[in-house]
Amino acid sequence: MSTRGLSLLSGGLDSMLAICLLRDQGVAMEGVVFVSPFFGAQGARKAAAQLGVPLREVDFTDDILALVRHPPHGFGGALNPCIDCHAAMIRRAGELMRAGGYDFVSTGEVLNQRPMSQNRRSLETVAQTSGLPGRLLRPLSAQLLEPTEPELDGRVDRARLGAIQGRQRTEQLALAKRFGLTEFPSPAGGCLLTEKGYCRKLRDLLDHTEGIPPAEDVALLRFSRHFRLPGGGRIIVGRNRADNQALKALARQGRALLHTVNVPGPTAAILGPIGEEDLLRAAQIVAAYGDRGALAQVVVRHVTPGGAREFAVDPLPREAFAPWML
């Protein structure tokens, strides 16, 4: 029986190289990617296709939402609970490892590549927190770390693993060339929890939600124009035709909508309860984004599961509602 490994595959170069290094010594490798409203499987699918390895896609939504609410090891630069996120992914991969009879779990982590989440202490914390210390292999930095079980018993040849550390990418680029990898995304990006603009909206949602926010509310954060109104109401205003169509579809979930009647304009979704004053403000914002020409007033329709009503409003000047934008 050949040695079998399950490797976290984000689609980034390091995660691809982790697989290449192990496969190069005859280990049968498969990839696993975790999917949530904050990160998807697109990059991993491309990488798996390029590498020719099977890929498992695992829904990680509940895990990451719980960690965004309560990250035991805190956040990185935005709302990214990287240490706990990594540990939870590795814990889940460990469950798959045991169920599927794999020998170990591997990752593309590189010692000291990120000052907070990939220093020696953090890597150790992740290994311990994930409950998988002896069977968690970091092939790119393995020679600088404690040997794992498969290295100790010879299933994996430690001498053929890497001793990479730091932020320089020189060694990774040389390995990419050696393994014939031609396409890989840049090292940064891919996780919305690291994007400050996105995290402002997520912070607002967390501040106005008890406990863990529902996944469907989190999914709406991908729309760009979010407003928290002075009375506490929250709306999303469509930026383009695709947004407007997607927001209209929310009516099927029982969400109230606003849209212009007498001029072309955006659709807005109202999230949660809204008072009369905020409703008027919301209508005035929708009117402000309408293509009203010389018209002084815009008719806005308010559609709820219980019926619809229309009212004529004066558009608000942009500078008046800019501070409410998240």
Binding site for ligand SF4 (CB under 6 A): 39, 80-82, 85-86, 191, 193-194
Token readout for 202 is 């997520």
Nearer to ligand SF4, 55 or 312 (CB): 55
Nearer to ligand SF4, 31 or 81 (CB): 81
The DSSP-derived string for 55-115 is EEEEE-HHHHHHHHH--TT--SSSS--HHHHHHHHHHHHHHHHHHHT-SEEE----BTSST
The minimum distance between CB 77 and ligand SF4, in angstroms, equals 10
Nearer to ligand SF4, 21 or 193 (CB): 193
The minimum distance between CB 191 and ligand SF4, in angstroms, equals 3
Secondary structure element (H or E) that encloses residue 270, with its range: strand 267-271
Torsion of CA 194, 200, 204, 210, to 10 degrees: 10
The minimum distance between CB 194 and ligand SF4, in angstroms, equals 5
The minimum distance between CB 80 and ligand SF4, in angstroms, equals 4
Token readout for 136 is 């968690």
The minimum distance between CB 36 and ligand SF4, in angstroms, equals 8
Nearer to ligand SF4, 24 or 195 (CB): 195
Name the H helices within the chain.
Answer: 13-23, 42-51, 61-69, 82-100, 120-129, 149-152, 170-178, 196-207, 215-219, 241-249, 276-288, 318-321
The minimum distance between CB 224 and ligand SF4, in angstroms, equals 20
Q: Is there a contact between 283 and 258 (Cβ–Cβ < 8 Å)?
A: yes
Cα–Cα distance for residue pair 160/103, rounded to 1 Å = 18
Please report, as a single letter, which amino acid is at residue 75.
Answer: F
Cα–Cα distance for residue pair 194/197, rounded to 1 Å = 9
The minimum distance between CB 205 and ligand SF4, in angstroms, equals 17
Beta bridge partners of 312: 299
Nearer to ligand SF4, 48 or 79 (CB): 79
Nearer to ligand SF4, 89 or 236 (CB): 89
The minimum distance between CB 137 and ligand SF4, in angstroms, equals 18
The minimum distance between CB 82 and ligand SF4, in angstroms, equals 3
Nearer to ligand SF4, 80 or 148 (CB): 80
The closest alpha carbon to 318, from 296, 299, 290, 298, belongs to 290
Nearer to ligand SF4, 47 or 247 (CB): 47
Side-chain half-sphere CA neighbours of 43 within 13 A: 23
Nearer to ligand SF4, 13 or 85 (CB): 85
Q: Is the torsion defined by CA of 157, 163, 167, 169 positive or negative?
A: negative
